[in-house]
């Protein structure tokens, strides 16, 4: 029997970190085995700015995914974005020694390796080298050169470049979390795999992934990636505007945006008002939904116009580069009410909301099918393509439970171990006292059950203590 290829994707976003474990079922669809989420601490606009907090958030998401799935994660494919990402177009060629031999994968790899040696700006590193169209001995517009004859093999490339330090910081966070990094993928490419159909990529489509800290763009035409860009604005700046404009705290601003927010101000009447609880000892605050929508509308228009400027830079007004399939919106920001209509109004292009459910198995939950998890689903699909066995089934052994201290500094770990030992001594003394002295009958009866009392006390104690550790780690700054 063929062993299941268990794949793991890790989406390190500005607002959330998602670890997703999945495999392909017998129908070729993606079956999600487990998912873990945590609030993203230490990431701003897609870039790690606090290593310790990011490690804690990653570990929290990993542990939750492992507990939900019953699999132990070994390595992950990670999505990368951020304002440091840029893309360039490059053309390169190789001269083959023997034109009488057919072109093989080795020749294409030789050409890709040559592009990988390109001199970048100081501090930059190549993330992806994506071949577009090939040319053999002057014959152009060749999509699949393997098996053809020729002496000069030429290709145009889409090269994605990022800051080396940012990439290494992500790698360090992964390794410090106790797992390996098996691959790095540009987030808009992962999202595109999850929500776009091959027909859309052929016809021409722009994928806009509106995240918490960044808005990512990927343009496809004739089934080939043509343009990528990362705009350093996302859902967080909308929340920040609401916070400032309505003079409320960030948590309330986020809830207002999700529950009552709209990108189209004309939808709300002047007398529609929502009451926000005041801070301690203060009166509740009344906020007009029309004003709320105006604040959201202004910022969304700014984001969409910047993305549209990138689409124009690609040259979509050229009839040969026309994006017939229009725009696909995905990411958490795509869930904002009336955003589809606003994007259509600004760009004049057909727009739809992209859900990753096309590639998911039929029994997947509604939450996983949300645009919020498009990038994570795409990363799992990418991991499956790499054919890596990224997770193994946990073997449950009937032994004394152990408390695992993840992301706890050595001094705190030592103090916790001392507390565990102290509590053991207290509980053991209690058992001896209950059996020795003339305690009330109820206590003696509870102690003298068939199952060892010591085992029961220790088990319930560990349950309580593990919960306390979880709370401690959740609240750790």
Pull the structure tokens for residue 464. 């309580």
Q: How far apart are the first and last CA of the chain?
A: 47
Asked whether the predicted pLDDT for residue 439 surpasses 50, the reply is no
Question: Pick the residue with more confidence: 465 or 64?
Answer: 64
Q: 170 near 80, Cβ under 8 Å?
A: yes
Q: How confident is the model at residue 468 (pLDDT cuts 50, 70, 90)?
A: low
Q: Token pair 């360090």 is at which residue?
A: 172
Beta strands in 81-178 (DSSP E): 86-95, 124-136, 139-142, 152-163
Q: Kindly tell me if the per-residue pLDDT of 448 is higher than 60.
A: no
Q: Which helix (H) or strand (E) holds 8?
A: strand 7-12
42: which 2 tokens?
């230490």
Q: Confidence band (pLDDT; 50, 70, 90) for 461?
A: very low
pLDDT tops 50 at residue 459? no
The confidence score (pLDDT) of residue 28 equals 84
Under DSSP, the state recorded for 2 is P
Question: Which of left, alpha, beta for 379 (phi over 0: left; psi -120 to 50: alpha)?
Answer: alpha
- Give the list of residues 6+ apart from residue 13 with CB closer than 8 angstroms, or none: 40, 43, 46, 211, 212, 213, 375
Closest CA to 127 of 79, 92, 175: 79
**Number of other residues whose CB lies within 10 A of the CB of residue 206:** 27
Asked whether the whole model's pTM tops 0.85, one would answer: no
Q: Is 350 helix (H, G, I), strand (E, B) or coil?
A: coil
Answer yes or no: is pLDDT of 475 > 70: no
CA 418 → CA 421, 455, 457, distances in Å?
A: 5, 20, 18
Lowest mean pLDDT among 41-50, 138-147, 256-265, 434-443: 434-443
Closest by CA position to 274, among listed 258, 300, 294, 292? 292
Residue with tokens 């739809």: 352
Write out the two tokens for 232. 């350093």
Residues 258-268 have a mean pLDDT of 86
Give per-residue pLDDT as tens, 117-165.
Answer: 998 989 999 999 999 999 999 898 898 999 999 999 999 999 999 999 9
């Amino acid at each position: 029997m063929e062993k299941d290829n268990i794949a793991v994707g890790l989406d390190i976003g500005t607002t959330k970190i998602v670890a997703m474990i999945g495999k392909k079922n017998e129908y070729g669809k993606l079956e999600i085995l487990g998912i873990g989420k945590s609030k993203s601490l230490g990431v701003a606009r897609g870039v790690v700015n606090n290593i310790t907090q990011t490690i804690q958030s990653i570990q929290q998401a990993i542990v939750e995914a492992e507990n939900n799935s019953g699999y132990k994660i070994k390595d992950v494919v990670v999505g990368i974005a951020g304002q440091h990402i840029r893309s360039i177009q490059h053309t390169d060629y190789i001269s083959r020694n023997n034109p009488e031999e057919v072109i093989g994968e080795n020749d294409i790899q030789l050409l890709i390796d040559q592009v990988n040696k390109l001199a970048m700006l100081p501090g930059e590193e190549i993330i992806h080298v994506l071949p577009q169209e090939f040319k053999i001995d002057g014959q152009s517009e060749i999509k699949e050169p393997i098996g053809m004859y020729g002496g000069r093999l030429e290709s145009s490339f889409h090269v994605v470049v990022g800051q080396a330090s940012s990439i290494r910081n992500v790698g360090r966070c992964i390794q410090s979390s106790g797992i390996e990094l098996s691959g790095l993928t540009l987030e808009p490419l992962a999202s595109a795999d999850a929500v776009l159909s091959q027909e859309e990529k052929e016809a021409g489509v722009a994928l806009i992934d509106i995240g918490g800290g960044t808005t990512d763009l990927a343009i496809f035409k004739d089934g080939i990636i043509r343009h990528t860009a990362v705009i350093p604005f996302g859902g967080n700046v909308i929340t920040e505007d609401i916070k400032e404009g309505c003079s409320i705290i960030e948590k309330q601003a986020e809830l207002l945006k999700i529950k009552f927010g709209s990108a189209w101000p004309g939808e709300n009447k002047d007398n529609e008002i929502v009451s926000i609880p005041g801070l301690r000892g203060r009166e509740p605050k009344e906020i007009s939904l029309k004003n709320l929508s105006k604040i959201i509308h202004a910022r969304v228009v700014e984001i969409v116009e910047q993305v549209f400027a990138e689409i124009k830079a690609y040259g979509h007004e050229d009839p040969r580069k026309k994006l017939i399939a229009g725009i696909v919106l995905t990411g958490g920001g795509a869930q904002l009410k009336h955003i589809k209509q606003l994007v259509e109004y600004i760009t004049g292009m057909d727009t739809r909301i992209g859900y990753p459910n096309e590639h998911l198995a039929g029994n997947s939950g509604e939450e996983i099918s949300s645009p919020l998890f498009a990038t994570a689903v795409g990363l799992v699909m990418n991991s499956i393509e790499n054919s890596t066995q990224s997770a193994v089934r946990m073997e449950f052994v009937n032994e004394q439970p152990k408390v695992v201290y993840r992301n706890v500094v050595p001094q705190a770990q030592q103090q916790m171990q001392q507390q565990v030992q102290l509590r053991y001594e207290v509980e053991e003394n209690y058992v001896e006292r209950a059996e020795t002295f003339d305690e009330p009958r109820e206590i003696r009866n509870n102690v003298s059950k068939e199952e060892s009392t010591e085992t029961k006390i220790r088990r319930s104690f560990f349950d309580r203590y593990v919960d306390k550790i979880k709370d401690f780690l959740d609240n750790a700054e």
